[in-house]
Copies of this chain bind each other. A is one copy, B any other.
Amino acid sequence: MTGPGEEMHALVERLYPLCRSITGDGVRATLDIVGEYIPLQVHEVPTGTQVLDWTVPQEWNIRDAYVADSTGRRVVDFAASSLHVLGYSVPVSATMPLAELRGHLHTLPDHPSWVPYRTSYYKPEWGFCLAQETLDALPDGDYEVCVDSTLVDGHLTYAEHVVPGQVADEVIVSCHVCHPALANDNMAGVAVAVFLARALAEQRPYHTYRFVFAPGTIGAITWLARNAERIEQVKHGLVLACAGDRGRLTYKQSRRGDSGIDRVMRHVLAVSERPHQVNEFTPYGYDERQYCSPGFDLGVGSLTRTPYAGYPEYHTSADNPDFVSPEAMADTLAVCREAFSVLDRDRRYVNLSPYGEPQLGRRGLYEALGGRSDTKQAQMAMLWVLNLSDGEHSLLEVAERSGLPFDTVAAAADALLGAGLIKE
């Protein structure tokens, strides 16, 4: 039986091998596949465009790259994994002794069978990443090195998908799409975002949800630079990354620490009884760095399972599709859906009968038989909503203060709204 977990995992496996970077055809191919699931608006931003403090770099593409020994055998081969080439490597075609080549080789001595992920976006450089044990097996001698890449004026590519809501206020969900053959970081995040968008589209949500698929850092900065007029509509946001490993959920709060998404995520995680951790904001990690820079200071948190740089497989070839599980992705998706469900229903109401309790009984909202000690949750929820609906407390605060489930509180508010006892 196939659930969303398996479907998301299949999407991860399909996206995984592509050679993504902060620009280039790997990103386009990735977005093409995502576009088969949800319609995307793809943006191409020319090299040289000024975006905030940054400039869109030249576009990088690569056809082939290898290190070959004197017999012509490829001992390191881009065709086997896009991790093997240093991201943004400038072209090179040369023969050199191993001693000279070593300065361009990156390994992980502590994990000798794993290939690291390395880049050099802004300093012209070429290089290869390989397993330490591969390097150790190389005899001295001359090697042919080839990076058949281009680094020329072109574009930076990112995409958006919008689920229209009842109001123009937006929630952004942002995923980086710049990492090559890494599964958890971040094809799992992309897959969860895709299925989240599809789930939201099945209803008409209260907020408008905007999904941003963009290269890390420069992509988010480009989006922010090009959406200055939209920023004040962005009420909440979530950066999705590392969404599929088997570790517990981690929510990293926005810089503000008490923004709506922070409160919602804390509540949803707390009541769900899932193992989880809530962390303070830090200005490193993923693109929450940009959304939460002091000039924007958006209410954008970050949801991961094991967080940024928190697992040994991070940024290595060991972050492959086996490292992510259908169950973990399904769980991440479920938490997002629960959180957005709360976010969409959280409101502040005003009690229209604030002097004493209104008589719920004659409105059919209170059981007729008095004296019993087991007052029902639904009735307690109505009393809580009435008591705290002074325009200061939202339903989420009612849920937190009362200890009642948000759903029960929201249902009570609906009943009271229907009876004309509260208004928005």
Contacts and interface: CB of A to CB of B under 8 A. Distances in A.
A118 interface: yes
A355 B120 contact: no
A94 interface: no
A272 to B, nearest CB: 23
A80 interface: no
A290 B357 contact: yes
A361 interface: yes
A224 interface: yes
A36 interface: no
A387 B384 CA distance: 39
A41 interface: no
Contacts of A354: 293-295
Contact of A120 (B54, B117, B284, B370): B370
A357 B119 contact: no
Contact of A386 (B282, B283, B374): B283
Mostly helix, strand, loop or mixed at chain A's interface?
A: loop
A390 interface: yes
B118 A383 contact: no
Contacts of A387: 255, 283, 289, 292-294
A391 to B, nearest CB: 9
A356 B386 contact: no
Contacts of A299: none
Contacts of A273: none
Contacts of A221: 356-357
A369 interface: yes
B293 A53 contact: no
Interface residues of A, number: 62
A26 interface: no
A252 interface: no
A123 B369 CA distance: 8
- The 8 tightest CB contacts between A and B, nearest first, are A295-B354, A295-B355, A283-B387, A123-B368, A309-B373, A119-B370, A283-B383, A294-B390
A87 B401 CA distance: 34
B290 A371 contact: no
A359 interface: yes
A121 interface: yes
A282 B401 CA distance: 9
A356 B290 contact: yes
A118 B369 contact: yes
A78 interface: no
Interface in A51-94: 52-54, 87
Contacts of A125: 368-369
A413 interface: no
A140 B125 CA distance: 98
Nearest to A367: B123
A362 B57 CA distance: 12
A28 interface: no
A123 B368 CA distance: 6
Nearest to A382: B283
Name, among A221, A282, A357, A401, the residue most crowded by chain B CB atoms within 10 Å (CB to CB).
Answer: A357
Contacts of A117: 371
Nearest to A129: B371
B372 A315 contact: yes
Name, among A294, A359, A384, the residue most crowded by chain B CB atoms within 10 Å (CB to CB).
Answer: A294
B361 A123 contact: yes
